[in-house]
C-alpha cells in the first residue's frame, strides 16, 4: 500500500498491486485494474518511486531462495537422460 494525496489535500492509501498505469495529463491520473481512475497531487515519477520503495520494503531482509538457506528452497532436479 502506498500513501498519496488527492487534489483536495486529503490523504489516500492505494493498493499498488491494483495500479494498471499512471498518466500525466496535466495532473497525475492513476488507473486501477478495475477501471477506476484516481487523480493525485504527486507526480507520476513520485508515484512510481513510492511503488518501488514499497515493494523493496517487502523484500528487504528475505534470504534469496537460491542460496539454500530459505526453508522453501528446493534444489533443481537433474535433467533425465534419454537413451536411444
**Model pLDDT for residues 5-39, shown as the tens digit of each residue:** 999 999 999 999 999 999 998 999 999 999 999 99
pLDDT of residue 63: 62
pTM above 0.75, yes or no: no
pLDDT of residue 60: 80
Say if CB 51 and CB 19 are below 8 A apart. yes
pLDDT of residue 76: 57
Q: Where are the domains of the chain?
A: 2-59
pLDDT of residue 24: 94
Terminal Cα-to-Cα distance of the chain (whole angstroms):
55
pLDDT tens for 57-76 read 888 876 665 555 555 555 55
Contacts of residue 27, Cβ cutoff 8 Å, sequence gap at least 6: 7, 39, 40, 41
Amino acid at each position: 500500500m502506498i500513501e498519496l494525496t488527492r487534489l483536495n489535500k486529503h490523504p489516500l492509501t492505494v493498493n499498488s498491486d491494483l495500479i494498471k498505469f499512471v498518466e500525466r495529463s496535466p495532473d497525475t491520473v492513476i488507473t486501477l485494474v478495475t477501471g477506476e481512475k484516481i487523480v493525485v497531487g504527486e507526480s507520476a515519477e513520485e508515484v512510481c518511486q513510492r511503488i518501488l520503495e514499497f515493494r523493496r520494503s517487502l523484500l528487504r531482509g528475505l534470504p534469496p531462495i537460491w542460496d539454500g538457506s530459505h526453508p522453501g528452497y528446493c534444489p533443481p532436479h537433474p535433467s533425465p537422460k534419454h537413451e536411444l
